Amino acid sequence: MTAKAYIELNPQETEETLELKKTLLDILACPICKSHPLELHIFEEKEEIVSGLLVCTSCNRYYPVIDEIPHMLPDELRNHDEDLGFLKVWESKVPKKILDEGKPFNFRK
């Protein structure tokens, strides 16, 4: 069995994916408050994390992971409709705290 096949059959617990998560979290810090490490929520996973959410627990900001790319933009460069659209798609997996209080955009009016 190849490593790839093994990952596809066991998406949760392989050393390869654990290593990727660790590397991602080692590199990334919140661009706003510089807090580190960020909390990672995985929504969809293949060999890499396809979709997910990085959460800064210090300032309550969230950063989408879309098509394996973490989007780490400062507030002024973010798109309200895109961010809320992303949260809507994964609403059942997004922490409630982020839906209600996440920055820069959330569902509470």
Interacting residues with Zn ion (CB under 5 A):
30, 32-33, 35, 56, 58-59, 61
CB of 73 to Zn ion, least distance (A): 13
Compute, in degrees rounded to 10, the torsion defined by CA atoms 25, 26, 30, 31: -120
Q: Is 34 left (phi over 0), alpha (psi -120 to 50) or beta?
A: left
Query: Residue 26 is encoded by which pair of tokens?
Result: 């080692």
- We find the least distance from the C-beta atom of residue 52 to Zn ion, in angstroms, to be 17
Least Å distance, CB 62 to Zn ion, is 10
User: What Rg value do the Cα atoms of the chain yield, rounded?
Assistant: 15
> Cβ(105)–Cβ(99) under 8 Å?
no
Residue 33: CB minimum distance to Zn ion, A: 3
* Choice between 7 and 54, CB closer to Zn ion: 54
Please, which residue, 32 or 72, has the CB nearer to Zn ion? 32
Q: In what order do the strands lie in the sheet with 39-45?
A: 39-45, 49-55, 62-66, 69-70
